[in-house]
Every structure is written in structure tokens, then in C-alpha cells.
């Protein structure tokens, strides 16, 4: 695609007179096969998982899963219990679908939790994403996730072809 086509595509969803040039347009609602491309401890003391889409029209796009367990914000405001509970459930589900055994000690130590998730880099999973309106900050919708294990289809070609001539007997 040339620059002319790229600019034409961007201009369809961008109004230079009022839109923020730094706005991030996340993935639309849908089901995505993704792989974990990075796991790190974020600057905000969160488990940060970078998931990259591996097929379809959003191939190569990234979803950042930032999961914090703090009970108060940086300004001292209490974070609602349902938010912390949802993040714990999300971490547990990701651990399950990625084959990560989360130790009890990791729940008390974000550095340890991040280290336990690092072996997930390169693993694939299915991510279901639903965006909901954020009335206070519409540029950043609320995201609801569900995850499931990715099971490779044994009938899917892996690029290796074997003919009768290749079999020794």
C-alpha cells in the first residue's frame, strides 16, 4: 500500500479539526487468536501482557492487558473491590489458558507474578474482547475479556509434505 492509499484510509476515520493525533484505536469487539509477545512489570506496578493478533484482518495488531492488584490509586482513592476481583479472575484465567501455575507467594509480590508469567511468551490463546462505552473518557472504552486455550487443528497443514517415496518401507 502506498502513502496515498494509507492517507485515504486514515482520513475516513480521522477529523483533523477535532481528533487527537495521539489517540489509540484499540481492537474492535471480536474473537482473536493471539500470542503473548511480551510480559513485563509495568511502571504502574501491574502485570503487563502484550498480546499480538496472528490472523485475520487485524493480524499484527496489539492488545495490552495491564492487570493491577493495588487497593488504592496513586492519589489515595480506594479502588472498588469488584475491579480488583475482576483482575484476579483475569490473571487466574490467563494462567490457566497459558499453562502457568501461579504460586500463592506471587499474589503478594508483583515481581514474582510477572516472573511466573514470562514462560508464556510465544504461547497462543483465544481472546474474546468486548468494548463498552466509558462516559468519563470515551477515548478509552472499558474492555471485557474472556480467554480460552488455543488448540491446534491436527488436520491443519504445518508446511511439511510427505509422499509415499519418503516412507522407507
Domain membership flag for residue 89: yes
Contacts of 39 (CB under 8 A, 6+ apart): 47, 48, 49, 50, 114, 117, 118, 120, 121
Domain membership flag for residue 157: no
Domain membership flag for residue 2: no
Domain membership flag for residue 95: yes
Provide the domain count of the chain.
1
Q: Out of 24-28, 108-112, 155-159, give the one with best mean pLDDT.
A: 108-112
Alpha carbon distance 107, 118 (integer Å): 15
**Range of the structural domain that residue 56 is part of:** 26-151
Domain membership flag for residue 158: no
Domain membership flag for residue 167: no
pLDDT tens, residue by residue, 61-89: 999 999 999 999 989 999 999 999 999 99
Domain membership flag for residue 15: no
Helix (H) or strand (E) holding 98: helix 81-98
Domain membership flag for residue 16: no
pLDDT tens, residue by residue, 32-65: 999 999 999 999 999 999 999 999 999 999 999 9
Amino acid at each position: 500500500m502506498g502513502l496515498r492509499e494509507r492517507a485515504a484510509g486514515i482520513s475516513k476515520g480521522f477529523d483533523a479539526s477535532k481528533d487527537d493525533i495521539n489517540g489509540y484505536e484499540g481492537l474492535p469487539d471480536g474473537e482473536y487468536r493471539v500470542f503473548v509477545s511480551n510480559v513485563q512489570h509495568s511502571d504502574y506496578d501491574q502485570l503487563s501482557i502484550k498480546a499480538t493478533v496472528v490472523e485475520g484482518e487485524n493480524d499484527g495488531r496489539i492488545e495490552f492487558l495491564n492487570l493491577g492488584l493495588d487497593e488504592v490509586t496513586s492519589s489515595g482513592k480506594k479502588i472498588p473491590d469488584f475491579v480488583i476481583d475482576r483482575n484476579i479472575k483475569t490473571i487466574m484465567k490467563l494462567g490457566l489458558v497459558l499453562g502457568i501455575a501461579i504460586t500463592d507467594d506471587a499474589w503478594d509480590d508483583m515481581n514474582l507474578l510477572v516472573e511466573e508469567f514470562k514462560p508464556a511468551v510465544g504461547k497462543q490463546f483465544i481472546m474474546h474482547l468486548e468494548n463498552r462505552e466509558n462516559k468519563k473518557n470515551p477515548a478509552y472504552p472499558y474492555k471485557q475479556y474472556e480467554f480460552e486455550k488455543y488448540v491446534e487443528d491436527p488436520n491443519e497443514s504445518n508446511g511439511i509434505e510427505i509422499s509415499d517415496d519418503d516412507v522407507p518401507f
